[in-house]
Amino acid sequence: MSHVLALSGGVGGAKLAAGLAAVLPPERLTIIVNTGDDFEHLGLTICPDIDSVVYALAGLNDRVRGWGVAEESWQAMAMLRRLGEADWFNLGDRDMAMHIARSWRLRAGETLSAVTARLTRALGIGACVAPMSDARLATLIETDAGTMDFQRWFVGEQCRPVARAIRFAGAGAPPSPAFAGALARPDLGAIIVCPSNPFLSVDPILALGGVRDALASRRVPVLAVSPLIGGAAVKGPLDKLLAERGAGTGNAAIAGHYAGLIDHLVIDRQDDPDAGGLRASGLFVTVTQTLMHAPGDQARLAREILKALAIP
Amino acid sequence: MSHVLALSGGVGGAKLAAGLAAVLPPERLTIIVNTGDDFEHLGLTICPDIDSVVYALAGLNDRVRGWGVAEESWQAMAMLRRLGEADWFNLGDRDMAMHIARSWRLRAGETLSAVTARLTRALGIGACVAPMSDARLATLIETDAGTMDFQRWFVGEQCRPVARAIRFAGAGAPPSPAFAGALARPDLGAIIVCPSNPFLSVDPILALGGVRDALASRRVPVLAVSPLIGGAAVKGPLDKLLAERGAGTGNAAIAGHYAGLIDHLVIDRQDDPDAGGLRASGLFVTVTQTLMHAPGDQARLAREILKALAIP
């Protein structure tokens, strides 16, 4: 019974991560999460992608709002606003508890891996959820208005400034022990790149020391689920980034970006597996419903992926 | 028009501080607050007495519960508990915002005085509210079970262990600029010790460097409002501390504790101004209703005190 390593960003990736957690025994799954978006705000260490994955796996995610915790309230935020503190990044009361717990444990000397393991255990999550690295690798957006921290561009500026380039401060940082350990497992059966933004959520993971080499010299299939549906992103700035890069659109652009790194692309049934020479390039393409709308969709897609990979 | 310096602990003192703020123009009032109870919890710097005074002056205090913020919710605390974090000190969502704002500003290098000025200004408080010191002076309780941080004894142990002694780590620390400044004002008209616990709320203020000397060499009247009503504390561990000390009870014990430091004691009409030789000792005693039940009571008591001090 082989082990599965999933790489995930935030909300979209978190849905498939939750699907995989629903169908695989916990000891057979490692979920490595992007931390390039992490930032310090009001003295708190906020890890948006880790929290999205944790909330999804714990069943705490808000399905209507699409982010954060269900049954959330905003009393602390309203008071912070009244106290004259920055309010451009919205923090719910329940969500705040995660940031407080994480921040003080980090300050007390725990690694982000240890804190994440502690928090996921407390929430009853069996699978290993770990940050991509315990070191800081920060996604920076180069715009005409200067270089911006990711959250300042993404939330503060609502992605409006044209992203001339995306840089990773701290590129080459070591993968976390769980990530390095999963890559080296003799029983590793597959690596699954969840439907996350390739530039913002997956590239930071690939920018860690040795990860591209590990994928290039892979002995196991690497499968990516395209974040596009009907040629467009379900959510977030991916369409805008694709257009601004001018390196093509649609699943061919996704495949092009992952060239040499993946063997297998899962695309939605609304998209043409032959468009842009996708299948002709030698890539194995699976067509199914990748949109995860109902909770059952997550487990269904996870099952289909494992089947396509011949993983029992 | 002279200036008034008030020394306050938490809830009881905060009521009179709010009364003084209601009847004096803001530029004529300095409220200095005990910080001996301050502590670090979950990475946050919590200043219970400053917060009690700030909430009372901003009209945000919960009158039913008797502490904390009105219309409070407890979502973050419930989530922290679920995450396995310590839950012996209850933190409301609105209250949490104060701790977050204060903590990150302190960590960014602001003094507690600067942070407190910032927060009170944001909440529309005109009078100067300042910590007794920007340095750390911590109240420690020596018990048979060992020496305890104040909050661990007060909240965690519900004051159960006998207090063999009360110690101040950091005694001799310098008063805050606002405190030293108010003591040195040529237009200072009176010093008012609010109805707070003498041992736990006022003694820490007196333990700062130079404060006892400044009071002993006073050119202005020093008036204390007794925290006892009908011989007993309205709230808190004062009765227990008085009994455990064995140095008398009632207002005579309060007066004895402040001997040489105060000229004037305000007691409640339920108590006898001659009991224990109170008036015979040469102390000026004013008898009135010191219980502040309705909001109007705070301003009424403040007006009576200013009248007794002949301060217009």
Burial class (CB in 10 A: 0-12, 13-18, 19+), B268: buried
Predicted pLDDT at A300 = 97
Q: Tokens standing for B122?
A: 């944001």
> How far away is chain B from the Cα of A40, in angstroms, using its nearest Cα?
10
Q: Between A and B, how many residue pairs show a Cβ–Cβ distance under 8 A?
A: 107
**Predicted structure pTM score:** 0.94
Under an 8 A CB cutoff, do B96 and A96 touch?
A: yes
Provide the CATH topology of domain A3-38+129-308: Rossmann fold (3.40.50)
What pLDDT, on a 0 to 100 scale, did the predictor assign at position B55?
97
CB contact under 8 A, B100 and A76: yes
| Longest alpha-carbon distance in chain A | 59
pLDDT of residue B1: 86
* Average pLDDT in chain B: 95
pLDDT digits (tens, 9 = 90+) for B225-280: 999 999 999 888 999 999 888 878 899 999 999 999 999 999 999 999 999 889 98
Of A190-194, B68-72, B213-217, which range is least confident?
B213-217
Give the gap in angstroms from C-alpha B119 to the nearest C-alpha of chain A: 6
B144-188 pLDDT, tens per residue? 999 999 999 999 899 999 999 999 999 999 999 999 999 999 999
Matching residue, tokens 């597959």: A190
**pLDDT band of B294, cuts 50, 70, 90:** confident
- CA angle at B189 for the pair B8 and B136, rounded to the nearest 5°: 35
**Which residues, at least 6 apart from A63, have a Cβ–Cβ distance to it below 8 Å?**
A70, A295
Contact (CB<8Å) A101/B119: no
Answer yes or no: do A101 and B44 touch at CB < 8 A: no
DSSP state of A61: B
Q: For residue B119, which residues of chain A lie inside 8 Å, CB to CB?
A: 83
From chain B, the residues in CB contact with A69 under 8 A are 79
In this structure, whether the domain defined by B3-308 belongs to CATH 2.60.40.10 is answered with no
Closest residue to A107, CB basis, from B43, B75, B85 = B43
Q: Which residue numbers of B have CB closer than 8 Å to A's CBs? A: 42-44, 69, 72-73, 75-80, 82-85, 92-94, 96-98, 100-101, 103-104, 107-108, 118-119, 122-123
Hey, what amino acid is at A22? A
- Determine contact, residues A73/B75, Cβ cutoff 8 Å: yes
pLDDT computed for residue B64 by the predictor: 87
From B99, B96, B123, B103, select the one nearest A92 (Cα to Cα): B96
**pLDDT averaged per 10 residues in sequence order, chain A, 312 residues:** 96 95 98 97 97 97 91 97 95 98 98 98 98 98 94 92 95 98 96 97 98 91 97 91 87 94 96 91 94 91 97 92
Instruction: Tell me which chain B residue has its CA closest to the CA of residue A43.
Output: B104
Element (H, E) at B264: strand B264-268
Give the phi and the psi of residue A234 in degrees, each rounded to 5: -65, -30
Q: How many angstroms separate the Cα of A87 from the Cα of each of A49, B132, B178?
A: 20, 31, 30
Distance separating alpha carbons of residues A95 and A292, to the nearest angstrom = 23
Task: Report the distance separating Cα B260 and Cα B253, nearest Å.
Answer: 13
Q: Please report the pLDDT score of residue A66 as a whole number.
A: 87
Residue A168's H or E segment, with its range, is: strand A165-169
Q: In angstroms, how far is the first alpha carbon of chain A from the final one? A: 7
Helices H, strands E: what count in chain B? 12, 14
Q: CA-CA distance, A37 to A50, in Å (whole number)?
A: 10
Q: Does position B11 have pLDDT exceeding 90, yes or no?
A: no
B186's CB contacts (< 8 A; 6+ apart) are: none
Q: Side chain identity at B16, as an amino acid letter? A: L
Band the pLDDT of B34: cuts 50, 70, 90.
Answer: very high
Mean pLDDT of B43-51: 97
> What gap in Å lies between CA A47 and CA A10, rounded to an integer?
10
Residue A158, Cβ density class (10 Å: 0-12 exposed, 13-18 middle, ≥19 buried): exposed
The stretches of chain B forming alpha helices (DSSP H) are 11-23, 48-58, 75-82, 93-107, 112-122, 150-151, 177-184, 203-206, 211-216, 238-245, 250-257, 295-308
